[in-house]
Amino acid sequence: MEWKSSLVQAATYQQEAAILEVALHGGAVYRYFGVPAQTYEELLRAQSIGRYFNGHVCSRFAYTKILPMEPNDSGPPPNLTKGTASR
């Protein structure tokens, strides 16, 4: 499957733990907890991966930023409210 998105570089899913890891093009990696497998599958099939991530993952699940870890960088992942990210 070809993956094209201006926001999301890659995503992996651990079904047993319901964990979704998302790498953004800026280098940050976030780990989301309690994500249903269906949400991951829909992300992969979304016409706009960035919009789906923003609307269905970003603000709906508990998360932790795992890379890069900087002392004053604990804010939420960026929202994709403008622009396009296509699959």
Q: Is the pTM of this model over 0.85?
A: no
Quickly state the pLDDT bin for 53 (edges 50, 70, 90).
very high
Confidence (pLDDT) at 81:
35
Alpha carbon distance 80, 87 (integer Å): 14
The Cα-based distances of 4 to 37, 66, 72, 85 in angstroms read: 21, 23, 30, 7
pLDDT at 85 over 90: no
**pLDDT digit string (tens) for 67-76?**
875 555 555 5
